[in-house]
Amino acid sequence: MVLSCGAPVQIPPLHRNIGNDMKILQQIVTASTLFIGSSLFAQDAKPTTAPATAPTAAGQAAPTEDDIANAPIDEAQMAAMFPKSPMNAESFDAAAKSPEAIAKGVAMLDQVAAAYKAAPAMTDTVVYTVKIPGGEQKESIGLSMGAGQDMQIKVATMNLTCLNGSVYFAEESMADKFVQVPLDGTLLNTIKEKFPGMLFPVPHLALRSAAPGKAVDSFGFGGSSFEKVSGFQEKDGSAQILLDGGESDMMLTVNPKTKLLSAMALVMSPPGAPAGIRFAVNFTLDPKTMDVLTPAISFDTAGRKAVASQEEMVPTRPEAIAVGAVAPGFSLQDLSGKTVTLADLRGKIVVVDFWATWCGPCRKGLPSINALAQWVAETKQPVVVLGINVWERGDNTVEKSKEFWTKQAFVFPTLLDHAGDVVKQYGFDGIPATVIIGMDGKVVNVHTGFDPKSDLVGDLKAEILKAIGTKG
C-alpha cells in the first residue's frame, strides 16, 4: 500500500477534510473524537489508520471523512483522554427543575426570541471553546444583522452574506470566485437548500424566525438537539435556562434587562464517540443592538466571478509534473537562512523530496532519502539532495521544522516552502513526493507516496546513475 498525506486543499471550509482547519463546531468535535481519538491512538499498531490514502490516476488523494470515521476507536484510551464532563443539569437543584421553574424558563426563552426579532440591527461576536487533547480549540464567529433577512456571518476566512434578496458565499483562498444564489424564503431555508452541511453553532438566525413556543429548536447544532426546557434559575444577576437533549444538555445565560444571550454551555456526546464520552463546549456572546448598522452590510463582487454552487468554487486538481518537463525554478531558504536556487545547480542531478512534520508517510520515507544522501557523499556523485518542507501547520512553523530536522540528524539540507508555492508549481496535492531533476534541468523521474515494501533507495540510485550515464 502506498501511503500519502493530502494537501490543505483550497475548497470551501465546510467541505474541507478533517485533517485541515475545521472552523465549525460539528467538525471540531468530530475531529476530536474520530481523528484524535482513533487515528493517532491506533497508528503505532496500525499505520494505515493514519490519514492516508493510495494515489489515484489523477494524483495523490486527500483522506475523506469516511476514511477517518471508519477508523477503529480505542475506547479505553478515549475515556482516559476525555474524562466525562458533568451535565449542566447537575447545577440545578430540585426547585430549579420544578414545573413552576420550567414555566418561567419557557416564558423567558420566548422573551429571548422576541428580543432578537425586535432588534432593528445587531452585531455579535461568538467565541466558543472546546477542550481537546493537548489544549483547547477556540474559534470565533462575527455576525451583523440588519433589517429583514439582511445578515453577514464571518468565520475565519469564510463570509456568508444575505443582502437585497441574494445570498453570497466567499472564501479568501478563492478570491476569484463567489457563490450567489437568490434568497429562497428565509436565510435559514436558503442555507439548507443551497449550502447543505453549512451549520453555524449560533442561534441568531433561528431565534429571529422562531414561532412562539419553538425557540428551543434554535439551539440544535453540534450534533445535538433539544426537545424542551427542563430548568430555570436566577444566579449571579443573570437568568439561566436549562435545555434537555437526552444525552446532551445546554445552559443558556440571559441578560435579564436586554433578554439577550451572554453565554451558552453545551455538554454533548458527539456521534460516534464511545459510551460515556462527553464534551463541554463553552460559548461567550457579546450582542449589541442599534437602530442602524454602522458600517452597513456589504459584499464586494469586484474582480470575481459569480458561480451557482460551492462545488463550482473548487479549483481543478493539479497534475503532477511530467517526466521530461522543465523543472520549475525556485529560490528558497534553508534552516540557517541561506538561499538555495535551483538554477545555480544546473550541471548536477538534483533530488528534491517534499515533506512535512505532520505527515506520517513523509517521516517514514525521509530515512530513505537520508540514506541516498549518504551514498551520494560517500561515492562523490554529482548529485544534490534537498528536502523541501511544505504546508506546515500551526504557530512557529520554522522552529518546529528546525527542531524536527535537528533531532533526526539528517545529512542533507531542507528548504522551507511553508506557503506551498513551489510544491504547487510541481503539481502535487499530496506528500511525500520525490523528484529527480537531470543535469539539463528536466525531470528524470517522479515518486509519489511512501510504499514500505518498495526499495526507494535502490530505485533512486539506479535512476540517478542512468541519468548520469545518459549525460556522459
What pLDDT does 316 receive? 66
Nearest to 377 by CA among 399, 410, 405: 410
One-character DSSP codes across 276-338: T--EEEEEE---EEESS-SSPP----TT-EEESSSGGGSPPPP-PPPTTSBPPP-EEEBTTS-
Whether 157 shows a pLDDT value over 60: the answer reads yes
Classified as helix, coil or strand, 229 is strand
Residues paired with residue 418 on neighbouring β-strands, in sequence order: none
Helix (H) or strand (E) holding 210: none
Q: What are the pLDDT digits (tens) for 87-131?
A: 999 999 999 999 999 999 999 999 999 999 999 999 999 998 887
Q: Provide the residue type at 72 as one letter.
A: P
Nearest to 355 by CA among 422, 453, 407, 441: 422
Q: What are the pLDDT digits (tens) for 327-379?
A: 999 999 999 999 999 999 999 999 999 999 988 899 999 999 999 999 999 99
Beta-carbon contacts of 3 under 8 Å, excluding residues fewer than 6 positions away, are 47, 48, 50, 52, 54, 360, 361, 364, 449, 450, 451, 452
What pLDDT does 325 receive? 96
Rg (CA), the chain: 27
- Cα distance between residue 372 and residue 351, in whole Å: 10
What pLDDT does 401 receive? 94
Query: What's the whole-number average pLDDT of the chain?
Result: 82
Instruction: Name the percent of the chain lying above pLDDT 70.
Output: 78
Q: Cβ atoms within 10 A of the Cβ of 468, count?
A: 16
What pLDDT does 60 receive? 37
Instruction: Name the percent of the chain lying above pLDDT 90.
Output: 59
Q: What are the pLDDT digits (tens) for 19-66?
A: 233 334 444 444 443 333 322 222 222 332 233 333 333 333 444 434
397 phi, psi to nearest 5 deg? -65, -35
421-433 burial, b if ≥16 CB within 10 A, otherwise e? ebbbebbbbbbbb
Higher pLDDT, 265 or 453: 265
Beta-carbon contacts of 152 under 8 Å, excluding residues fewer than 6 positions away, are 142, 143, 144, 159, 160, 161, 162, 163, 297, 299
Q: Cell numbers 452585531 label which residue?
A: 123
C-alpha cell at 425: 508549481
Give the torsion sign (CA, 416, 422, 427, 429): positive
Vertex 25: Cα angle to 24 and 26 (nearest 5): 95
Domains of the chain: 5-81 (no CATH), 88-313 (2.50.20.10), 331-470 (3.40.30.10)
- Cα distance between residue 350 and residue 439, in whole Å: 8
C-alpha cell at 32: 476530536
- Cα distance between residue 369 and residue 436, in whole Å: 12
Give the chain's length: 472
Helix (H) or strand (E) holding 259: none
Asked if residue 200 lies in contact with residue 221, where contact means CB atoms within 8 angstroms, the answer is yes
Asked if the peptide bond before residue 432 counts as cis, ω within 30 degrees of 0, the response is: yes
- Cα distance between residue 320 and residue 428, in whole Å: 5
Q: Give the pTM.
A: 0.60
Vertex 218: Cα angle to 212 and 220 (nearest 5): 140
Beta-carbon contacts of 245 under 8 Å, excluding residues fewer than 6 positions away, are 224, 225, 226, 227, 268
Beta-carbon contacts of 81 under 8 Å, excluding residues fewer than 6 positions away, are 36, 37, 133
Q: What is the distance in angstroms between the CA of the first residue and the CA of the last residue of the chain?
A: 36
- Cα distance between residue 320 and residue 130, in whole Å: 38
Vertex 382: Cα angle to 379 and 383 (nearest 5): 90
Most confident range, picked from 104-113, 125-134, 272-281, 304-313: 104-113
